[in-house]
Structure 1
Amino acid sequence: MPTHKAVVTAAIGLHARPAAVFVRAVNETGLPVTITKEGSGGVDAGSLLQVMTADFPQGCEVELGISEAALNGHLSREKAEEALRSLGDLLESQGTV
């Protein structure tokens, strides 16, 4: 499973605007991305409601992932990893906007 770790930097965590920006970017990839923090199950990163209610506060390390089954031969592992890196960069840059 392609994964990428990132840290949430937005002062309010993944709530309101930062969550909306992140979820929009996830949906633009067209990939079924999950977001997970230690000690909890992953949620659908393309769902604003799931992301906002999962409580990803500032400083929280998250893991973004796409299951191999979801790739199903439609996208190379390298492209999936590139998409996850880009989403991780977005999470880490939101503290500076």
Structure 2
Amino acid sequence: MFERRVTVASKVGLHARPAALLAKAASAQSVKITIRKDETDPVEAGSILGLMTLGASHGDEVVLAAEGEGAEEALDEIADLVGTELDAE
């Protein structure tokens, strides 16, 4: 299992537009990606509802995880998104 730790950059956290963009990108990966905050159970990164219930706010550190062929590349792509201001127009 591969993991990446990344800080949420979007000012609104992983809610609304950032959650939708992240879920779409995660769903397009060839491997299942999960996301969690340190003391929470992981949720599927491809689920908008899961992302919103995670409660990840601006500045929170989250842990992305994936397993299988292509997992490292998929995590790199999703980590880049989480670390980007996604709620800017």
**TM-score scaled to structure 1, two decimals?**
0.83
Other-structure match for 1:35: 35
For 1:23 and 1:38, locate their aligned partners in 2 and report how far apart those are by CA, in whole Å.
20
Q: In terms of Rg, which structure is larger?
A: 1
Q: Which runs of 5+ in 2 are unaligned?
A: none
Which structure: greater helix fraction?
A: 1
Distance change (3 Å), C-alpha of 1:4 and 1:23: same
Other-structure match for 1:51: 51
Other-structure match for 2:20: 20
Q: Which runs of 5+ in 1 are unaligned?
A: none
Shift of 1:30: 3.1
For 1:51 and 1:40, locate their aligned partners in 2 and report how far apart those are by CA, in whole Å.
12
Shift of 1:54: 1.3
- What SS does the aligned partner of 1:85 have? helix
Are 1:94 and 2:76 counterparts? no
For 2:32 and 2:86, locate their aligned partners in 1 and report how far apart those are by CA, in whole Å.
25
Distance change (3 Å), C-alpha of 1:63 and 1:49: same
Shift of 1:36: 0.9
Which structure: greater strand fraction?
A: 2
The one-letter amino acid paired with 1:49 is: L
For 1:2 and 1:42, locate their aligned partners in 2 and report how far apart those are by CA, in whole Å.
14
The one-letter amino acid paired with 1:16 is: A
CA distances 1:51-93 after superposition (whole Å, capped 9, x unpaired): 11110100010110014xxx2xxx2xxx311210111011111
Percent pairwise identity: 36
The count of corresponding residues between Structure 1 and Structure 2 is: 88
Are 1:3 and 2:37 counterparts? no
